[in-house]
Chains A and B, each alone.
Chain A
Amino acid sequence: MDKKILVLGIGNILWADEGFGVRALEIFHSLYRVPENVSLLDGGTQGLYLVQFVQEADYLLVFDAIDYGLKPGTLKIVEGGEVPKFTGAKKMSLHQTGFQEVLSAADLLGDYPEKLALIGCQPEDLEDWGGPLTQPVRDQLVHAAEIAASILEQWGASCTRREKGEMVEPLLANDIDHASYERPIAAA
């Protein structure tokens, strides 16, 4: 049977570059069609409540804004046992602390993913409440999605690039999708 793969975006979309994880997932969804054994989850800042999704996954790929002290917008790919260490390296925000614990909790419950990868992005600004993604981070969204597709390819799940103009049900609705969210900010 095909491995169950979860692609998870975490972070707070209301908080500038904190939104990287969810926005990267949104772009990934808009660019790629995925096989049936792959599911996408906007995890927001749900922390421990995500444990069941992690438990159910054989392979787990996470998008997140992580502070490595690098140049803003730098992407860093971490795999396997290094992931929990990295998510705990610098605790900038609640959801990060939470996610390291989510992994530990899944482990304690005996359902740790066989494969684990993190596509992290160095944020520039985490303090601009209600602000947009900063340019260096926004510039990496497509690249992050392409990296996700190549990791999934290595994991045996080939994603197909969508046709231009293909109608896709958006990942986020009710005006919180990336373009709508930032429209009034741009106008202000």
Chain B
Amino acid sequence: MGLETPNGFKLDNSGKRVVVDPVTRIEGHLRVEVNVDSNNVIRNAVSTGTMWRGIEVILRGRDPRDAWAFTERICGVCTGTHALTSVRAVEDALAIKIPENANSIRNIMQLTLQVHDHIVHFYHLHALDWVDVVSALSADPKATSALAQSISSWPLSSPGYFKELQGRLKRFVESGQLGPFKNGYWGSPAYKLPPEANLMAVAHYLEALDFQKDIVKIHTVFGGKNPHPNWLVGGVPCPINVDGIGGVGAINMERLNLVSEIIDRSIEFTNKVYIPDLLAIASFYKDWLYGGGLSSKSVLSYGDIPERANDYSAANLLLPQGAIINGNLNEVFPVNLRDPEEIQEFVAHSWYKYPDETKGLHPWDGVTEPNFVLGPNAKGTRTNIEALDESAKYSFIKAPRWKGNAMEVGPLARWIIGYAQNKPEFKEPVEKVLKDLGAPTSALFSTLGRTAARGLECQWAANKLKHFHDKLIANIKAGDSSTANVDKWDPQTWPSEVKGVGFTEAPRGALAHWIKIKDGKIDNYQAVVPTTWNGSPRDPKGNIGAFEASLLDTPMADPSQPLEIIRTLHSFDPCLACSTHVMSEDGQEMAKIQVR
């Protein structure tokens, strides 16, 4: 049946039956079902997920000062962002002010995460959707060297280097253990790069894998350990003692110099490897401008990276804050996370129960009560679902909306908002990339645009790392070594009932935690994560979410090799594994794959 959603997308699931595996709540499991027409064009998309739920149940009754340690465990990659969001929520509730050094150090932690996550995402989770590893085996190392040297002054570019690497790759592939490369559809006509570009990209895949381990050393310096660095309500847990020596945990000049050196290398890697690779790869896919979905209509960013401590107003945030709806880039709306009418979560199509499901709930009043029921058209059993009914409840992800609108969040949303606000540090790089590629502005609203925005943001973040590191050192040299404010550490000093909200821009998008504290303990805790926004199911009015919208109208070269779907879903950097099913017209399951 064909229909048009209120947010302007045409859906057609006529005569198709969707067969799905049991929906299990394994960690971060996401499934997307699509219906393709007789030309293999996607006409309906259903995104169903099993995001973490119930963090609120785990946290109720606990000490708010420990909440960060729990939220750090929600996700395997966003650990620090959740922790930062959590301490900000508690500080907001208790009106705790943090020292300038703590703000700089937190920004360094957060920007480090952005740089690290974006590099790992591009090279290790996404590049192979564009790069054919097996094709790299037939590349001419000399021609690869010439290509690499034509786009960058990065020194690892000799014919001998690429020849050695190709040999290593060949042995690896021939040993039969493709390892990280095992999920590719090598040889698919959807791959467009020449062998030399493929070989260059694979070389950088390995270099990035090697380099990422150095980037996170910054987290170890300021967070005491990594993975799972330490955080602190009221500041940061690392004392500063610039004259100190040795490894007793305090920040000294030796450690600050290490951080400085890693920042310089991050800037260089991004400028000389990541961005040139991005442009080189994109130049072969300029005709593949699918996957834009919601991005050309409605995007949202809470903003992040406060220049000065304790001011979370839009003017003080270096990553832009705002909302754009209905594709009108001439108007960027302010966003208020406290207004009960702005951000609301709906559960009409989610496996939760509200007293009145036609209405949404603001997260402060959020309820997380599971209600796993299948719709009348669902097939199979509760433990072995064969087909979901998207007209009923079909996902463990709630549907967050901003003033009733489904929104896309993430690097592309942030960069569109910065662009629309005419901020030069966002607008100029976007225009330069479009010009270098000879692409129109509309190309921004695509899968490739999402991938490019992430690269630009990595470059931006690497440079901002330097800014805050310099600022931190200047402040220390001026005699301020304060890193924490513990005036309100004792719960005896707290009001009996308070509430607060903390927000950040996680690498994959807008993230906020809402907390209510009663008698020193957590009374309610709700988190709305980026993949809840992007992976949301339909809302009561039938608006579809960003994942669902992004897949529509994409033609597939070969539906048994759903590379196009993976490419677009990966471009969101979803913080969960997803399995994708592609359905043929008569409802036969054509492919089942794991997407990471």
Give chain A's interface residues, CB within 8 Å of chain B: 12-15, 18, 42-52, 55, 84, 91-95, 97-98, 100-101, 103-105, 107-110, 126-127, 129-130, 173-176, 184
Contact = CB atoms under 8 A, between A and B. Distances in A.
A126 B470 CA distance: 46
Interface stretch (B50-58, B246-254, B328-336, B582-590): B50-58
Contacts of A107: 172, 177, 179
A104 B27 contact: no
A52 to B, nearest CB: 4
Contacts of A91: 594
A-B pairs with lowest CB-CB distance, top 4: A104-B179, A45-B76, A174-B69, A52-B213
16 contacts: A12-B73, A14-B58, A18-B27, A42-B228, A45-B75, A46-B79, A49-B77, A94-B76, A100-B179, A101-B180, A108-B180, A109-B209, A110-B168, A126-B26, A127-B24, A127-B26
A13 B73 contact: yes
B431 interface: no
Which interface residue of B60, B66, B79, B227 has the most chain A CB atoms within 10 A?
A: B227
A170 to B, nearest CB: 12
B63 interface: yes
Given A130-B54, A184-B61, A15 B27 contact: yes
B280 interface: no
A139 B20 CA distance: 36
Contact of B57 (A44, A109, A130): A130
Given A47-B76, A51-B213, A175 B63 contact: yes
Given A91-B594, A175-B66, A184-B61, A105 B576 contact: no
A94 B576 contact: yes
Nearest to A98: B76
Contacts of B66: 174-176
A145 B520 CA distance: 37
Contacts of B68: 174
Contacts of B484: none
A103 B70 CA distance: 27
A97 to B, nearest CB: 7
Contacts of B209: 48, 51, 105, 108-109
A113 B74 CA distance: 29
A31 B342 CA distance: 52
A93 B213 contact: no
A109 B206 contact: yes
Given A44-B227, A108-B209, 16 more contacts: A12-B27, A44-B73, A44-B79, A48-B209, A50-B227, A93-B577, A94-B576, A94-B596, A98-B76, A107-B177, A108-B168, A129-B58, A130-B55, A130-B57, A173-B69, A174-B69
